[in-house]
Structure 1
Amino acid sequence: MDRMFRVLGFWTLAIGLMALAGDFIPMALIFFAQTAIFVLLGYMKLTERAYILIFWGYMIVSFVGFTYWSFFRLTV
């Protein structure tokens, strides 16, 4: 399971670099921060249950944040 967090770190790094190339600086910084967190978690050697709980917590926070932003902060 620890390798999966390193894979997530790789993909968030790729997305961050693409955002940086497209001049989306705040988005790139968010994804670079996620990359650092995922790679750090990937080398912590936690139990599989801990990794799953951390991942579910991450998913809940990201989905709630995205929903909040798209409904209340995004102007159409």
Structure 2
Amino acid sequence: RAQVLDIAKRTADLVKLGREITADDVVLIEDYAYPVYGVPSEETKEAIRLVGRLEGMITDPVYEGKSMQGMIDLV
């Protein structure tokens, strides 16, 4: 949580967000860290294919792919 907060604060400064990022802004959802570290689930692979097809984004299956799966589920 502390590492994510630090990254978010530095990013906010870089993009001149105009407001302070606090610990309350950080929400960690760990539901997508399956089946094991470094192995993408079928849902993660589908999310990777979807953003590749629709947005031309190339994502890795460990961090970005699992994060994208979570983002798609939240939308």
- Scaled by the length of structure 2, the TM-score of the pair is 0.27
- Scaled by the length of structure 1, the TM-score of the pair is 0.27
